[in-house]
Amino acid sequence: MNNTRKVVKIFIASPSDIVKEREFFREISEETNKIKANALGIHLEAVGWAETDLGWGRPQEKINKDLNNCELVVIILWMRWGVTTGIYSSGIEEEFAVAKKRYNETKKPEIHLFFRDIPDDRRLNPDDHISRVLKFKAEIESAKELLFSRYENPEGWKKQFRIQLNNWFDRQPFGISEKLKEIENYKEKTERLELLQTTIQNKNDRVALDLIIDAREKAKSGLITKAEKGLIDANALSQNPAVINRYGLFLIEIGLIERSKIQFNKLLEIEPSKNDDLITAIAYGNLGISHQLSENFEEALTCFNKAIEFNKKIGRIEGVASQLGKIGINFRMQKKFDEAKPNFINAHKLLLKIGNTRKIAISFSNLGWLYYDLKEIEKAQNVVKSLYSIMMDKSLTKGLVIFVLILGYTSHN
């Protein structure tokens, strides 16, 4: 490893019945290093109780020291709760308490919580371990402070975690912390611009849109209940297309995919005289993302192709390129790499033609992941080097550094 790289530690906490997921945790961490992190001067180091040098003293205390040096904590539970640490009922309970206390004080580490589905027969006759896991899950749901994910098997977790880790990585400042506020402001402006210019009609619309943006910030801080209240207030104030669209994107961000589909379908149901082709194009594109995230691949392809149709109708080349990229991702998720490749390449050519550097960076990222899938590691690394060159090019306007935040599987625009 290059000594000039910044080491960022990510921690996995799980009882002894979580085996394959721990292997995948390290595999995906290394995968992210090869494709993205190392080229940007970052090295993700996967740590957990197995890597802790225990020696003398209370073992859990030493594990906690490693935990306190991590930027991300991943907690996975299935049918075992663990054994007492002498202070808490299990290592998991103590690690969660330590991570939560530090987060409340410093807003770090980010906590990702996963529950593997327990078979029905074991839920009906739970032992002490399962009872404690179910109780902990109920406590998390009741507190409404932390979102969690469910999965059926290790392969399903691998798919979820790959997306979550890359999305988490893309949100981190990692060396550009002073520019982060400027970047976020740029993102908000570009995200709203087209719909704001064409659809915002009155004060209520603007207040509603601001409520949704505020809700996003609350959700990032773990204030999910307050965020949901803001969304309810926004919808009571306005049914403007821009507000509906922003609500749908927010629901995607917090993992409520089925509810997001309802919002995007609302956009498509707007009376034609009050709608326009831009709104329809955006609605189909975002509805496609929702279908894709729930692995309804055929429905997603239909939506993306509809979005291309309406983008072509209004001459929005950037929109066409965005949908081609999403179609490429669709095929890639299905491991249809030969079908993904021409879509990624065509999207890249269109973006080069119109010169949108921020989205050129996204298309480079998609090509990088595809080359990794095809085991063409050298090509993948060269692509990431091109991304790094784009970011470091001082001739670019400061806002274009935003691409660091959105490299990965999807783009909402």
Query: Residues 163-187, buried b or exposed e (16+ Cβ, 10 A)?
Result: ebbbbbbbebebeeeebbeebeebb
pLDDT for 46 = 94
Question: For the domain that residue 307 is a member of, what is the CATH number?
Answer: 1.25.40.10
As beta bridge partners, residue 110 has 72
The amino acid sitting at 182 is E
Let me know whether 203 and 62 are in one domain. no
Give the three-class secondary structure for 254: coil
Q: Are 2 and 38 in contact (CB under 8 A)?
A: yes
As beta bridge partners, residue 149 has 114
pLDDT tens for the 413 residues of the chain, in order: 445 788 999 999 999 999 999 999 999 999 888 877 876 778 999 998 765 555 555 678 888 888 999 999 999 999 999 999 989 999 999 999 999 999 999 989 999 999 999 998 898 899 999 999 999 999 998 887 887 888 999 999 998 899 889 888 877 766 333 333 443 444 444 444 445 444 555 677 778 777 877 877 776 666 666 777 777 787 777 777 877 888 888 778 777 788 889 989 988 887 655 457 888 899 999 999 999 888 889 999 999 999 999 999 999 998 999 999 999 989 988 889 889 989 998 998 898 888 766 677 777 777 877 887 777 877 777 776 676 666 555 344 333 333 333 333 333 33
Let me know whether 140 and 242 are in one domain. no
The CA distance from 75 to 13, in Å, is: 5
Coarse DSSP helix, strand, coil percentages of the chain, rounded to the nearest 5 percent: 70, 10, 25
Let me know whether 213 and 333 are in one domain. yes
Q: How many domains does the chain have?
A: 2
Give the three-class secondary structure for 48: strand
The CA distance from 215 to 258, in Å, is: 19
Q: Does some domain include residue 411? A: no
The CA distance from 394 to 397, in Å, is: 8
The CA distance from 216 to 223, in Å, is: 9
Let me know whether 151 and 279 are in one domain. no
pLDDT for 411 = 33
The CA distance from 269 to 361, in Å, is: 34
Nearest CA-CA partner of 75 in 45, 95, 104, 98: 95
Let me know whether 28 and 136 are in one domain. yes
The last residue of one of the domains, among 155, 171, 187, is 171
Let me know whether 167 and 197 are in one domain. no
Let me know whether 218 and 338 are in one domain. yes
Let me know whether 10 and 113 are in one domain. yes
Tokens linked to 299: 């429905």
The last residue of one of the domains, among 171, 201, 224, is 171
Structural domain for 62, as ranges: 6-171
The last residue of one of the domains, among 127, 145, 171, is 171
Let me know whether 106 and 11 are in one domain. yes
pLDDT for 229 = 76
Give the three-class secondary structure for 17: coil
Let me know whether 159 and 67 are in one domain. yes
pLDDT for 54 = 54
Q: Does some domain include residue 64? A: yes
Q: Are 13 and 26 in contact (CB under 8 A)?
A: no
Question: For the domain that residue 53 is a member of, what is the CATH number?
Answer: 3.40.50
393 CB-contact burial (10 Å; exposed 0-12 / middle 13-18 / buried 19+): exposed
Q: Are 10 and 74 in contact (CB under 8 A)?
A: yes
CB neighbour list of residue 251: distance below 8 Å, 6 or more residues apart: 257, 259, 260, 263
